[in-house]
Amino acid sequence: MTTKIGLALSGGGFRATAFGLGALRALHDRDVLDKVNVVSGISGGSLLTAMWAYGPQRFDEFDDTVTALLRRGLQAELARRALTPRAAWRATLSTMRALGTRQGRSYSRTDALVEALASRPFGAQKMTEVRHAGLDTVISATDMRTGNAVRFGSALSASSPYGRIVDEVPVADAVAASAAFPVLLPALHRRYVFQRTDGTRHDEELAMTDGGVYDNLGLAPLLPGRSTRYSHHVYDLDYIIAVDAGRGRGEQTPARFLTRRLAQSFDITHTKSQDAARSRIHSIGEAAEIKGFLHVYLGMHDDRLPTPMADLIPRGTVHAYPTNFAAMTKSDLDAIVIRGEQLTRSLINAYTPALGA
């Protein structure tokens, strides 16, 4: 009987992309990666999902492509694209039109991200054009109008209030929507034709922001107990691997001013939401609803590893790395990637040795 594996790659900007790359290296070396049936990505994890599922088929070429992008970064490129005279004029007109009509902006900095991603081979693909046989993809964003998830997938794309998306969705659009961190990037506006369960069609405009607002771990579509009566993405899995680039808890200096207080309040709420998802996956494992799970957590404390590791990259070296898309130094990149590899290898050996057999 074939083992069915689901892989979730969390949000967290380039920190998540780099940490996820390390986890994928370990899974590849243990011959697990080629057995993954579905991969679910959020924000920085959606970028890695897209580069793996729609990029080079050879792992070494994929690895080189991701490493090159992380070293080069996206932020400087986005600034150049957004500040060209044509882009600036389009953004100004779009803002004026939105103010006058109360409609969404037709062009913004997030569209510059779409253009940057679409200029790369993986981003130019459609969501249906996965490069690995037998692999399903799910890239999630959050619709600001309804507060629901929008899930773009290789098998189908949908949002529960509206139904299945009929249109072909470019990979660049899905990743940009998933990665549109609200503080830095405006919501991405797209109009799609939807089909309800009764077959009727209608069109709706979505205002999409970071998928991490709804589910930063990317676990929701992989969890057992979901029903096709209520959810479009339902998977029957034996194992779930959650690659979580969260930094973990730590003390902070209480904010004195409004903007920082709001940021800290959001961070606390966001952390609580992620903790609930982490608790859910652990409960599923304890209840034996699946054969096994791995929670590869960047922010886990080093003394909690099941087997001590002498050369472990310490949590304190990487956990505070920012969640942006700026170019990474070689030392930062190596540290985050290697910690991802180390934790994944250790946890497979301790908790799911059958996966790496």
Percent pLDDT > 70 in the chain is: 85
230 pLDDT more than 90: no
Q: Is residue 106 part of a domain?
A: no
How far apart, in whole angstroms, are the C-alpha atoms of residue 84 and residue 86? 5
Identify each DSSP E strand in 82-135 by its residue range: none
260 pLDDT more than 80: no
Report the candidate in 239, 353, 345 with the shortest Cα–Cα distance to residue 5: 239
Supply the range of the domain harboring residue 312: 5-74+122-352
Q: What does the pLDDT look like over 239-259, one tens digit per residue?
A: 999 999 998 766 566 666 666
**Domain at 282, CATH number:** 3.40.1090.10
- Amino acid 79: pLDDT: 85
Q: Indicate if 210 belongs to the active site.
A: yes
For the CA atoms of 202, 171, 218, 242, what is the dihedral angle to 10 degrees? 150
Q: Is residue 236 part of a domain?
A: yes
Q: Is residue 36 part of a domain?
A: yes
90 pLDDT more than 80: no
Higher pLDDT, 213 or 255: 213
Give residue for tokens 């200029």.
119
352 pLDDT more than 60: yes
- Amino acid 279: pLDDT: 78
Round the average pLDDT of the chain to a whole number and report it: 89
Q: Which residues of 331-342 are buried (b: 16+ CB within 10 A; e: fewer)?
A: ebbebbbbbbbb
Catalytic residue among 63, 173, 210, 215: 210
- Amino acid 96: pLDDT: 56
Q: What does the pLDDT look like over 147-163, one tens digit per residue?
A: 999 999 999 999 999 99
Q: What mean pLDDT do residues 36-53 have? A: 98
Determine phi and psi for 131, rounding to 5 degrees. Answer: -90, -10
Q: Is residue 83 part of a domain?
A: no
Token pair for 178: 């998933």
Both ends of the chain: CA-CA distance in Å? Answer: 15
- Amino acid 256: pLDDT: 67
- Are the CB atoms for 344 and 27 separated by under 8 Å? yes
Q: What mean pLDDT do residues 186-190 have? A: 93
Higher pLDDT, 183 or 51: 51
Residue 142's H or E segment, with its range, is strand 136-143
Q: Is residue 91 part of a domain?
A: no
108 pLDDT more than 90: no
Q: Is residue 101 part of a domain?
A: no
Q: Is residue 105 part of a domain?
A: no
Our count of domains for the chain comes to 1
Q: Indicate if 160 belongs to the active site.
A: no
264 pLDDT more than 90: no
From 55-69, 86-100, 258-272, the region with the lowest mean pLDDT? 86-100
Read off the pLDDT band of 60 (50, 70, 90). very high
For residue 352, the number of C-alpha atoms closer than 13 Å in the C-beta half-sphere is 23
Q: Is residue 341 part of a domain?
A: yes
Catalytic residue among 10, 40, 43, 94: 43
